[in-house]
Amino acid sequence: MVVELSKAIEVVDLDQKTKMVTELDGHIMRCVRDQNGNHVIQKCIECIPEDSIQFIISTFYGEVVTLSTHPYGCRVIQRVLEHCTDTNTQQIVMDEILQSVCMLAQDQYGNYVIQHGKPHERSFIIEKLAGQIIQMSQQKFASNVVEKCLTFGGPSEREVIINEMLGTTDENEPLQAMMKDQFGNYVVQKVLETCDDQQRELILSRIKVHLNALKKYTYGKHIVARVEKLVAAGERRIGLQSSQYPS
C-alpha cells in the first residue's frame, strides 16, 4: 500500500497529489517514524509544491532535533533542508538544528542532518563547534561533520578549525592527540588535503617533529604515510622550480 502511494505521488497530476496528501493529515508523525511511511512523507516533500504540504512541514516545528536523531526522521529532515525554499521554514528548521549542533553532530543519525547544511549555514555550524573541534574530531560521527566543513567550507571556516588544531603554543598537544586518534587522524589528513600551501607548510613542520613517535601508534601510521608523501611531493615541486630557474 505504502509503495503504491509513494509511486502514485510521483505520477498523478497536482490536483490528485494534493487530495491524496490531505488524507495524511493527523498521521504525519506516525508516518515519519514508520519504516515504510517515512518514504511517503519524503516523496511528498520531493514532489509536491511547498504551499500544498505546509501542514506536513509545520508538524515538524519544535520536533526537528528529535526527528533528526531518529533513523527515519533524519531522512525526512534532510529532504526538508533540500527541497523547502520558504525562508520562514528554513529559518525555523535551521534555528532548531543550530541550538543543538554539538549533540546532533555526535549522533549516529543527527550528524547527517548537520552535514546537509547549506554553505551560508556552515559558518554558523563552525561557530557553534568552535572551542570543541578537537573533541569533535575524536568522536566517530562528529569527525565526519568536521571533515565535511573542511571540504566544503571557505578559507575562513577552515582557518578556525586549523587554528584550534594547532593550539596556542608550540607544544602541539591538540595536533598530537588528533594524530594518534582513530577518527582524529582522518581529520588531520583532510586538513592537509584542503588547506592552502602556507598552512600546509606550517602543519607539516609541526608534524615532522613527531614522526618517529607516531610510528608507534596504529592510527599515527596513517599520518606518517600521508606526511611522507606530501613532503616528497613538496621537495619534487621545489626541485622542479629550481630546475626551471637555474642559477
What pLDDT shows up at residue 237? 60
What pLDDT shows up at residue 232? 76
What pLDDT shows up at residue 101? 96
Cell output for 209: 617533529
> Which are the contacts of 175, defined by CB distance < 8 A and separation ≥ 6?
165, 166, 167, 188, 203, 206, 207
Phi, psi values for residue 204, rounded to 5° = -60, -40
Please state the rounded mean pLDDT for residues 181-205: 91
Confidence of residue 183 (pLDDT cuts 50, 70, 90): very high
Q: For residue range 78-97, what is the model confidence (pLDDT) as tens digits? A: 999 999 999 999 999 999 99
Phi, psi values for residue 209, rounded to 5° = -55, -30
What pLDDT shows up at residue 118? 79
Mean pLDDT of the residues in the chain? 87
Angle value at C-alpha 25, between 52 and 68, nearest 5 degrees: 85
Question: Can you say whether residue 70 is alpha, beta or left, with left for phi > 0 and alpha for psi between -120 and 50 degrees?
Answer: beta
Of 89, 220, 179, 147, the closest CA to residue 125 belongs to 147
What pLDDT shows up at residue 98? 93
What pLDDT shows up at residue 97? 96
Q: For residue range 194-220, what is the model confidence (pLDDT) as tens digits? A: 999 899 888 888 888 888 888 887 877
Q: For residue range 22-76, what is the model confidence (pLDDT) as tens digits? A: 888 899 999 999 999 999 999 999 988 999 999 999 999 999 999 999 999 999 9
Q: How far is CA 211 from the centre of its chain?
A: 29
What pLDDT shows up at residue 247? 44
Cell output for 69: 536523531
What pLDDT shows up at residue 238? 52
Tell me which amino acid residue 140 is: K
Look-up of cell digits 511547498: 50
Scanning 33-109, the segments in alpha helix (DSSP H) are 37-47, 54-59, 64-68, 73-83, 87-99, 101-105
Q: For residue range 111-159, what is the model confidence (pLDDT) as tens digits? A: 999 998 777 788 889 999 999 999 999 999 999 999 999 998 889 999 9
Is there a contact between 142 and 106 (Cβ–Cβ < 8 Å)? yes
- In the chain, where the domains are located: 1-116
